[in-house]
Amino acid sequence: MKSPVVAVLSGGTSREREVSLRSGANVAAAAACLLPTVLFQVDSEQLPAGLDPKIHVVLSTLHGTFGEDGGMQRLLEAGGFTYSGCGAEASACTMDKAATKALAANVGVPVAAGLVFDAAQAPLAAELTARLGSEVVIKPNNEGSSVGLSICSGLDEIAAALAQLAPGRWVAERRIRGTELTVGLLDGRAMGVVEVAPKTGVYDYTNKYTKGNTEYFAPARIPTGAAGAVQRFAESVFSVCGCRDFARADFILSADGEPFFLEINTLPGMTGTSLLPLSAKCIGLDYAALVREMLAPALRRFQHDLP
């Protein structure tokens, strides 16, 4: 039986396009060591020309809108493609931060107090302070990679952030000071917990994707019990959101040792500074082995569905 060809999708139309191009190139190089592989660059919200559901198993590295929100996944499903990663419904759910937090809270995973609102009806700074305290995190409800993130302290900073909101849905949360953590998941099982420590400021888009701006500790420098709790909570969120194959969940460990869930990323970055490969390294998987495990469930589905 002829082996399928891996089709890696990169680029896309979101503000994370450049990161996706880097992720895609890395993943395609690793996948090519396992199976014949083709790298496709996505430039519009449609399937790239040349994809064939009878030949290709798709591994998308599209980040942000249209990549992680179920848009590309719906097109792949309609076209009869086998692809790696979460399905369209789970992707749409997890891209909605407020909806994901609500599901997490329903299964006992701690989340920060917050408020969801439309930019056109944004609350006053005084209202946010009264509800959430004087330190607040404001971020888009449907973006990834810390795009649009603001961390505010005091009425003036909160008011300034609210005045600059782009149209759309936004989330404001009580800021929890502590240790930033992330954990990768393969087939619903948590890998190693990674500690994220920016050298200056917070873990925003610049610090996330500028090499040398952030230190990473894999495994995280936290008590074993706290790491175990993060892993259990990550697995619970993966399950309740209907995820499959792989994902990455982000947490913050408060000063008193309680982990709070932030969000789950269904198409995590795979660049040289990305966190999913670091989490995998904690359990002995190098980059190539991680890509192999990310592909494995889709390859099984492809073989199962052959006539």
pLDDT of residue 235: 98
Catalytic residue status for 156: no
Q: CA–CA separation, 168 vs 299, rounded Å?
A: 38
Half-sphere exposure of 195 (CA within 13 A, CB side): 16
Catalytic residue status for 173: no
Report the top-level CATH class of 5-85+288-305. alpha beta
Q: Of the residues 265, 274, 279, 287, which is catalytic? A: 265
Catalytic residue status for 157: no
Domain extents for the chain?
Answer: 5-85+288-305, 93-110+177-285, 114-174
Q: Of the residues 24, 141, 248, 287, which is catalytic? A: 248
Q: CA–CA separation, 100 vs 142, rounded Å?
A: 11
Catalytic residue status for 204: no
Catalytic residue status for 83: no
Q: Of the residues 209, 244, 245, 287, which is catalytic? A: 209
Catalytic residue status for 60: no
Q: CA–CA separation, 208 vs 213, rounded Å?
A: 8
Catalytic residue status for 16: yes
The pLDDT tens digits for 104-121 are: 999 999 999 999 999 999
pLDDT at 304 over 60: yes
* Mean pLDDT of all residues in 39-67: 95
pLDDT at 77 over 60: yes
The pLDDT tens digits for 120-159 are: 999 999 999 999 999 999 999 987 646 788 999 999 999 9
Q: Of the residues 145, 150, 207, 274, which is catalytic? A: 145
Residues 6+ apart with CB under 8 A from 225: none
pLDDT at 205 over 90: no
Q: What SS3 state is found at 188? A: coil
Burial class, 80, CB count within 10 angstroms (exposed 0-12 / middle 13-18 / buried 19+): exposed
Q: CA–CA separation, 133 vs 23, rounded Å?
A: 38
Please say whether the beta carbons of 6 and 26 come within 8 A.
no
pLDDT at 14 over 70: yes
pLDDT at 95 over 70: yes
Architecture of domain 114-174: 2-Layer Sandwich (3.30)
What percentage of residues in the chain have a pLDDT greater than 90? 85
Cα torsion 143, 146, 148, 150 to 10°: value is 140
Catalytic residue status for 263: yes
pLDDT at 96 over 90: yes
For the domain 93-110+177-285, what is the CATH superfamily, name and number? ATP-grasp fold, B domain (3.30.470.20)
pLDDT of residue 189: 98
Q: CA–CA separation, 152 vs 134, rounded Å?
A: 8
Residues 6+ apart with CB under 8 A from 268: 184, 246, 247, 248, 274, 275, 276
